[in-house]
Amino acid sequence: MPDFWSFITVGLCTLFLTSDPGHKFGYVDKQGNEVIPAKYLQAWPFQNGFARCYGIDPKTGKDDWLTIVFIDKNGHEYKIPATAVDGDPFKAKRFLIDGMEIRDDRLEIQVIEKNGIKFVRGPYVVSIVAPGEKKPIDANSCGWKGMNPSTGNQWFLMDGKAFEFTGAIGKSIVPGLEPVPMPQLISDWYGVKTRMNEKYDYFGELSDGLVAARLRSSKRWHYLQPNGDIAIELPANVCSTQPFSEGLAAVAIGGVAWSDIGGKSSISPLKGATFGFIDKTGKFVIPPKFPCPAKDWHSTFKDGLALATAEKNASIALGYINTKGDFVVPPKYLRLDEFSEGLATFDASPVGFNPYQWQKTRYKDICQFLRQYNIFSMNKAEVKSLLGEPNEQTKFPDADAYLLSSGCLGSTYIAIRYDANEHVVGYTMPPNFWAWKSLTTNQEEPTEWIVSDQKPDAEEGFYEFFKRAMKVKLFPPFVKPAD
C-alpha cells in the first residue's frame, strides 16, 4: 500500500511508516475517531495493549530518533531507554516499564504453532522453533514461497522439492516440515512447471476456499477451487483481483494499459480502473466505484471493514468501508495501515500537493504538483508561493530552477520559463543527463521544453513522466516570446 496499501487486522488501525518531515502519525478507531493525535514520526501497530513510536523531543522541539516511546490506548507514554529484558533496547523484544513487561514483536510478521513447533516468519528469515532448538531458514536461498493455495499450509522449495509446515516430527531434517507433492496452483515464477501453470500465469492466495487465477492466453481472471475447477468466471473487463475474505472479494474493472511507466507488476490494476466487491456468485454487492492506485494494491474485509479509496486533490485518499459500501472511517488520509487491537495509524499529512513537504524534504513530488495544478495558468508569484524561492543559477537567464532531489552524483532541477508578464510558458528537465552537477557550470543546456499542459499518470515518477512527455512532444529550442 505495501507500500501504499496495508491490511486490516483487529480493532485499531496504524499508519504507514516514514521519516519525511511533515509526516506525523496518530491512531484512529473503527468509528473514525482520531483517539490518539498525530504527533509521532513513526508508529507501529498495537500489540498487547501498547504501540511503539518515535516522537519529538519536548525540550528541543526536534525529531527524536534516539528515544523509543511506547504508548497505551489512552495515549499515555512510556519512554525507553528502560530495562530491556533481552539486552539492547533497540533490538530487544521485551521491556520492563514501571514493573510491567511489554513485548514488542513488530519484526515477526507471522507466527504459526502446530504440535508444539512454531513457524516464525520475519522480514528476511523464517525460523522453525522446536522444543530445545531453533532452526533459521534463509527465505531467499531455500525458496520460501508462502502459502500453498491447495492446502493453506506454509510451504518451501528446497533443492527442487516441496515441503510444508505441518508440525510433523521426523519427516525431514527440519522439525515441523514434511515433504509433499509439488503444488499445482503455483506460478511458473517459481521455476516449476505444472499442469495448471501451463494454463494460468498467476495464482493468488487460498482464502475462503477460493484462489484467484489469470488465464495465460486471454489474461482473463477467474476464481478457482483448490482442485483447479472454475468456481467463478469473471467478465473480460476485470483487470485485477484480491482474495476472498468474509465472503467478499475486491475486483477491479475497466481502465487502459499503462504506458512508459516502470514499477508496475503484471497484475496491477489498469490506469483508471475502479474496484468494488463481489460475492461468491460473482455478483457485485458493492459497486466498483473506488479508484485503484497504480501500484500493487490490497483490500480485504476483516471484522466487517475493508480499505477503500476516493479521489482528492488529483490523488487518492484512504478510508474504510463497511459491508454496505459506506465509509465508516472517512476517506481523508494519505496513508492508512492495518487495524490492530481496535486502532489503526493515520498520516495527518494533507492528501495532494503539500508546499511544506516540497520545501522541507530532500525529494520533491513534482508530479503531484503537475497533476493537481495547471502550471500554464500560473504566474511566477503563484509558482513561488507553492515551490518556494528558486535556486541561484546562471544557466537559464529567462527561467527559474527549483531543486527536485540531491545526491552524491549531483542534483536534479525543474526549470520554469516565463513570458514578459511573468506567466509560465514552458518547463524542462535535462533530456539525457538527468542530474545537473551545478547550475553554474557550462554543461549543455536542455533544448526540449514542454509548452502545453501534460499530466503525469497516477503515482508516475518524475523521471518516467519527463521521459514520456518529451518523447511524445519534442519541441525546438525555446524562443523567448516577443514583448
pLDDT tens string 266-323: 667 777 899 999 999 999 999 999 998 766 678 999 999 999 999 998 888 999 999 9
Q: What distance in Å separates the CA atoms of residue 10 and residue 12, rounded to the nearest whole number?
A: 7
d(C-alpha 127, C-alpha 108), whole Å: 10
What does each C-alpha distance from 312 to 28, 62, 290, 291, 351 come to in angstroms?
20, 31, 12, 11, 7
Quick one: pLDDT at residue 33? 96
Tracing cell 492508512 back to the chain, one arrives at 336
Cell of 8: 486490516
Residues 379, 424 contacting (CB under 8 angstroms) = yes
| Greater model confidence, 28 or 15 | 28
Q: How far is CA 265 from CA 162, 240, 269, 282, 422, in A?
A: 26, 11, 9, 25, 42
Q: 418 lies in a domain?
A: yes
- Pick from 83, 16, 4: nearest CA to 45: 16
**Whole-angstrom distance, CA of residue 386 vs CA of residue 356:** 9
d(CA 270, CA 272): 6
> Could you tell me if residue 379 is inside a domain?
yes
Decide which of 161 and 368 is more confident.
368
pLDDT of residue 88: 60
Question: Could you tell me the three cell numbers for 286?
Answer: 458493492
Position 1 pLDDT exceeds 60:
no
Q: Mean pLDDT, to the nearest integer, of 427-432?
A: 64
| Amino acid 368: pLDDT | 87
**Domain of 394?**
355-472
Distance CA 397, CA 406 (A): 22
Least confident of 84-88, 241-245, 302-306, 378-382: 84-88
The whole-number pLDDT of residue 120 equals 81
Confidence of residue 10 (pLDDT cuts 50, 70, 90): very low
Q: Which of 103-107, 190-194, 250-254, 408-412 has the lowest mean pLDDT?
A: 103-107
Residue 460, domain member (yes or no): yes
Lowest mean pLDDT among 54-68, 137-151, 376-390, 434-448: 434-448
Nearest-CA neighbor of 29 among 397, 282, 340?
A: 340
pLDDT averaged over every residue in the chain = 78
Among 46-60, 369-383, 466-480, name the most confident range.
Answer: 369-383
Tell me, what's the pLDDT at 262?
46
* Distance between start and end Cα atoms, the chain: 49
3-state secondary structure of 470: helix
What confidence score (pLDDT) does residue 354 get? 80
Alpha carbons 3 and 7: distance in angstroms, whole number: 11
Residue type, 277: F
Instruction: Give me 268's grid cell.
Output: 496491477
Q: Find which of 198-202, 444-448, 462-466 is predicted with most confidence, using mean pLDDT.
A: 198-202
- Residue 197 pLDDT: 84
When divided into structural domains, the chain yields a total of 1
Interval 350-360: pLDDT, tens = 888 888 777 77
Query: Radius of gyration of the chain from Cα atoms?
Result: 26
Quick one: pLDDT at residue 85? 57
Q: What is the pLDDT of residue 93?
A: 67
Is residue 306 one of the residues assigned to a domain? no
Contact indicator for 13, 345 with CB cutoff of 8 Å: yes
Q: What SS3 class is residue 458?
A: coil
- Domain-located, residue 238: no
Is residue 52 within 8 Å of residue 104, measured between CB atoms? Answer: yes
- Cα–Cα distances in angstroms (integers) from residue 53 to residues 146, 287, 324, 332, in the given order: 29, 37, 34, 22
In this prediction, residue 91 carries a pLDDT of 60
- Asked if the model's pLDDT at residue 7 lies above 50, the reply is no
CA pair distance 245, 265, nearest whole angstrom: 23
Using DSSP's 3-state secondary structure scheme, residue 462 falls into: helix
Segment (H or E) for 407: strand 399-407
Which pLDDT band holds residue 406 (cuts at 50, 70, 90)?
confident
Q: Which residue reads 493468488 in cell numbers?
A: 204
* Residue scoring higher pLDDT (430 or 19): 430
Cell numbers given for 225: 477451487
Percent of the chain predicted with pLDDT > 90 = 29
392 in a domain, yes or no? yes
Q: Is 246 exposed, middle or buried (0-12, 13-18, 19+ CB in 10 A)?
A: middle
Using the structure block, give the residue that is written with the C-alpha cell 486533490: 313
Q: Is the pLDDT assigned to residue 19 strictly greater than 60?
A: no
- pLDDT exceeds cutoff 80 at 189: no
Regarding predicted confidence, which is higher, 232 or 128? 232
Which is higher by pLDDT, 329 or 363?
329
Bridge-partner residues for 311, per DSSP? 316
| The pLDDT value given to residue 421 | 92
pLDDT for residue 3 is more than 50: no
Q: How far apart are CA 73 and CA 208, in angstroms?
A: 32
Per-residue pLDDT at 479 exceeds 50: no
Q: Residue 466 pLDDT more than 80? A: no
Q: What proportion of the chain, given as a percentage, has pLDDT over 70?
A: 74
Query: Would you call the peptide bond into 81 cis, given omega within 30 degrees of 0 as the criterion?
Result: yes
Over residues 253-261, the mean pLDDT reads: 70
Q: Is residue 4 part of a domain?
A: no
Asked if the structure places residue 39 within a domain, the reply is: no
